[in-house]
Structure 1
Amino acid sequence: MARIVMKFGGTSVGDIERIQRAALRVKAESDAGHEIAVVVSAMSGETNRLVDLTRAAAPMHDAREYDTVVAAGEQVTIGLMSMALQDLGVNARSWLGWQLPIHTTDVHSAARITSIETGEVIRRFGEGQVAVVAGFQGMAPNGRITTLGRGGSDTSAVALAAALKADRCDIYTDVDGVYTTDPRIVPAARKLDKITYEEMLELASLGAKVLQTRSVELAMNHGVRVHVRSSFSDEPGTLVVDEEEIVEQQMVNGVTYAPNEAKITLRNVADKPGVSAGIFGPLADANINVDMIVQNVSEDGATTDLTFTVPRDSLDRTRKVLDGVRETLQWSDMTADPNVVKVSIVGVGMRSHVGVAKTMFQALAEKGINIQVITTSEIKVSVLIADEYTELAVRALHTAFELDAA
């Protein structure tokens, strides 16, 4: 007997037929004698509909009331899932975030989970009951409903698995696992049997959409084994596990890309202490996320050129913030390029293999692709290139690191 958390995303519970199909999966695990907690998202498209309603009612709405509205989608799904399970003869009961409760901070629409009370759910496991829990939501210290932000149901599922000390957390989605790259770009992409937490965290932060970044962080911190698998297939998916569970590491396990990038270059910036803080401090205060940063000596040798990237949809706000501090910092020119993409290779095997960067740069050079910015970490190399070369770069790197399926 195992204790399992099964999470179903919006596409997996998009209509009654899909909810019933998901319920059959839950019944099979329950019939096998396992203790089951199910975490569900709102039905596909429902959260967007509720968000649109809040904006229509009041563009400058109260965040507390926003959470009250958008949390309603999961309430509908847990009720429908519980009904479908009961119809199959499964003893099931629904739980809203405040009923467990799932305790969170009071940052409405972007709350973080602080603790989960599981005593009553575990007691009911002993009675053979399946718990159907609303993802994406919790309860603030003052008792009000909170939501966890986009992708929060993944975080709910992993946090619940950690609190329950579950044997694993199965994430059911519309893909059948984690691939070496986007199969829509590279048909020869391979599904990985296992991937480390660190690799999955890098891939998620660099543009892969399979898992939400916060959920991977939680899984890594608490040692939760995560199984990413398809709602529409019985094939095994991809296990996200500790590095020690993988016998021999690939040099590179994935190639990913992040298209929502824009590049800013400030020329002839004064080369003295405090200037960088004067630039990036106001951007942070405006909640603009700065990613890749490169500083070079300017042509005059006395100043520097500063290049960095921001999310493409933050470009206009970035320009406005920088214009506001230009008189103080006195750079000569600012240019912006929204037509760039960040392409990355990821693999824990980089720690024990040499020549990774050389292989990457050579593969891109052979395709005539110019590299504009480079950043690295222990298990990642990212480059910024013109977005027109995205597919060509991804295919070239996938082949260069021998990731193509045989």
Structure 2
Amino acid sequence: MAVIVQKFGGTSVGSLERIEAVAEQIVKTKRQGHQVVAVLSAMSGETNRLTKLAKSIDGNPSPRELDMLLASGEQVSIALLSIALIKRGFSAVSLLAHQIGLTTNNRFNKARILNVDNTRMLQELQQGHIVVVAGFQGVDDEGNVTTLGRGGSDTSAVAIATALQAKECQIFTDVDGVYTTDPRIDDNAKKLSHISFDEMLEMASSGAKVLQTRSVEFAGKHKMPLRVLSSFAAGEGTSITFEKEIDKAHPVSAIASHKDEAMIRLVGVQHGATFRDELFSALADADIEIDMVVQTSSSADVNAKLNINFTVHRYDYSVALQLVQTLATRFHIDDVSGDKQLVKVSAIGNGMRSHTGVAASIFSSLHHKNIDIYLISTAEIKISVLVKEQDLHLAVRTLHKKFQLNTII
């Protein structure tokens, strides 16, 4: 009897009607002979509502107390689902993170999972219960409630599936799988039947919001099979596999986009590593993630001043810019400026490992559409460009058509 972990997001449990529908989905899986562990998010909009309440009292609420507040959302959804399952004649038990021993570090609001104790869950499964677990939350080694950040229930589900050595971790969302690009941008987007972990990780980190990046990293590290399905319609969804045969006809498998990019420019940085070390250390200490980084020199002279451009999440832009300006004054940087009206568009595919000319195709295609490129970054299976926000839809559609992704299998 295999263990199946099924995660349901906020929209999937956004109303009592949706919770009843999720109960039916779980019952269907249970009747197929599987042991089921369901991992739930809070009902749609609940986390935002609770955050708003906290900020109505204090615009900068205590991170510890905010986590205590936000974790209550999942307690509501798991209890309601368990009630719906019991009403259908199935034994179910709802459990909070501390009851299953899901421990994290003490980074409130952005905690990382350290361990999951499978003892309690295995006991409940052996007794024939459906186990319904609160996602998004954990406890640190002092017993404080922590939360994992937006989308953290995905990571909760993968960690629990790994601890239970589940057959598969199924992520139920409001879409029916992973697409070659965002269907809201290009109606020629096609659902993928399967995709590799490498590609899914690059897509998640490049703006595809189907799965949280950390959940894909965790699953890939622990070899946990994933499947993305819709909780609103039947279907096979998209299987995320360990290996994917390279499609020789399609060096690119998907086009992803990330809207919340901001770029900071530094002009006239003295040659040497001291400033760079302090800059990126300060940003790391502020928990600001850096995405794209480009360093150029104003001349061939090895001692010439440097220009540094880098991107951060738009949410972190104001804090990052203030940090940079403070350092720039101390290090006598010639100029600091920024731009929040930028987006990242990425072409992703395992086929890049064996194909040449992908970068040339990207640059020429965008040039022919008069789309300016501000930064470029490359990886083994990804090429990303930074463009104006107003060019986002045109850039995505242009590259999706260029690589013929509407014909991908």
Pick the TM interval, shorter chain.
over 0.9
Matched, 1:33 2:24: no
CA gap of 1:148–1:279, structure 2 versus 1, over 3 A, is closer
Question: How far apart are the structure 1 equivalents of 2:115 and 2:394?
Answer: 45
- Once residues 126 and 300 of structure 1 are traced to their aligned partners in structure 2, the CA distance between those partners, rounded to angstroms, is 70
Segments of 5+ residues of structure 1 without an aligned counterpart are none
Structure 2 counterpart of 1:285, one-letter code: D
Q: Secondary structure at the match of 1:13?
A: coil
Q: Equivalents in 2 of 1:358, 1:92: separation in Å?
A: 56
2:41–2:135 CA contact under 8 A, matched in 1: yes
Residue type of the alignment partner of 2:280: F
One-letter identity of the residue aligned with 1:314? D
Q: CA RMSD in A?
A: 1.8
CA distance in 1, matches of 2:60, 2:393: 40
Matches within 5 A, 1:175-214: 175-214=175-214
Residue 209 of structure 2 aligns to a residue whose secondary structure is coil
Task: Give the corresponding residue for 1:218.
Answer: 218
Residue in structure 2 matched with residue 350 of structure 1 by the alignment: 352
- 1:128 maps to 128
The question of whether the paired residues in 2 share the 8 Å contact of 1:340 and 1:386 is answered with yes
Provide the residue aligned with 1:323 in structure 2. 325
Cα gap change, 1:5/1:60 in structure 2, threshold over 3 Å: closer, same or farther?
Answer: same
> Which residue of 2 is the match for residue 279 of structure 1?
279
Contact 2:265 2:309 in 1 (8 A): yes
Deviation string for 1:119-149 (max 9, x for gaps)? 2322332332110111111222122322211
| Runs of at least 5 residues in structure 2 that lack an aligned partner in the other structure | none
The letter of the residue matching 1:118 is: N
Q: Which residue of 2 aligns with 1:359?
A: 361
Alpha-carbon distance change, 252 to 69 in structure 1, aligned in 2, over 3 angstroms:
same
2 CA distance for matches of 1:280 and 1:392? 33
Question: Which SS does the other structure have where 2:291 is aligned?
Answer: coil
Q: Deviations over 1:270-296 (max 9, x none)?
A: 223423224333333333322211122
Q: Which residue of 1 aligns with 2:72?
A: 72
Distance 2:272 2:120 in 1: 60
TM-score, with structure 1 as normaliser: 0.95
Q: Which residue of 2 aligns with 1:105?
A: 105
Query: Which residue matches 1:402?
Result: 404
Contact 2:179 2:192 (8 Å CA) reproduced: yes
Residues 65-90 of structure 1 deviation map (CA, whole Å, 9 limit, x = unaligned): 22221111111111100010111111
Q: Which moved more, 1:19-28 or 1:139-148?
A: 139-148
Aligned equivalents of 1:118 and 1:336: distance in 2? 48
Query: Residue 325 of structure 2 contacts residue 336 of structure 2 at CA under 8 Å; is this kept in 1?
Result: no
User: Residues 194 and 246 of structure 1 are in contact (CA less than 8 Å); yes or no, is this contact kept in structure 2?
Assistant: no
Question: 2-side partners of 1:59 and 1:338: how far apart?
Answer: 23
SS, match of residue 146 in structure 1: strand
CA contact (8 A) 1:267 1:298 kept: no
The 2-side partners of 1:89 and 1:327 are apart by: 68
Amino acid of the structure 1 residue aligned with 2:81: M
Alignment of 1:155-304 (within 5 A): 155-243=155-243, 246=245, 248=247, 250-298=250-298, 302-304=304-306
Structure 1 residue 63 displacement after superposition: 2.7
TM-score (norm 2): 0.94
Distance 1:231 1:142, change over 3 A: same
Deviation at residue 57 of structure 1 after TM alignment: 3.0
Structure 1 residue 176: deviation in Å? 0.5
Cα distance in 2 for partners of 1:320, 1:161 equals 42
SS, match of residue 26 in structure 2: helix
* Equivalent residue in structure 1 for 2:307, among 297, 305, 308: 305
Which stretch of structure 1 is more off in the superposition, 233-242 or 140-149? 140-149
2-side partners of 1:320 and 1:60: how far apart?
18
CA distance in 2: counterparts of 1:347 and 1:275, whole angstroms: 36
| Partner Cα separation in structure 1 for residue 139 and residue 313 of structure 2 | 31
Question: Aligned residue for 1:377?
Answer: 379
| Distance change (3 Å), C-alpha of 1:237 and 1:316 | same
Q: Quickly say closer, same or farther: Cα 1:335–1:300, change in 2 above 3 A.
A: farther
Amino acid at match of 1:395: R
Distance in 1 between residues matched to 2:364 and 2:397, nearest whole Å: 14
State how far apart, in whole Å, the 2-side matches of 1:353 and 1:391 are.
26
The answer as to whether partners of 2:294 and 2:375 remain within 8 angstroms in 1 is yes
Deviation, structure 1 residue 268: 2.1
Task: Verify the 8 A CA contact 2:328 2:336 in the aligned structure 1.
Answer: no
Show the counterpart of 1:2.
2
Establish whether residue 55 from structure 1 lines up as the match of residue 51 from structure 2. no
2:392 to 385, 390, 393: 390
SS at match of 1:10: coil
Question: Structure 1: how far apart are the matches of 2:172 and 2:311?
Answer: 33
In 1, distance between residues paired with 2:211 and 2:234? 19
- How many angstroms does 1:24 deviate by? 0.3
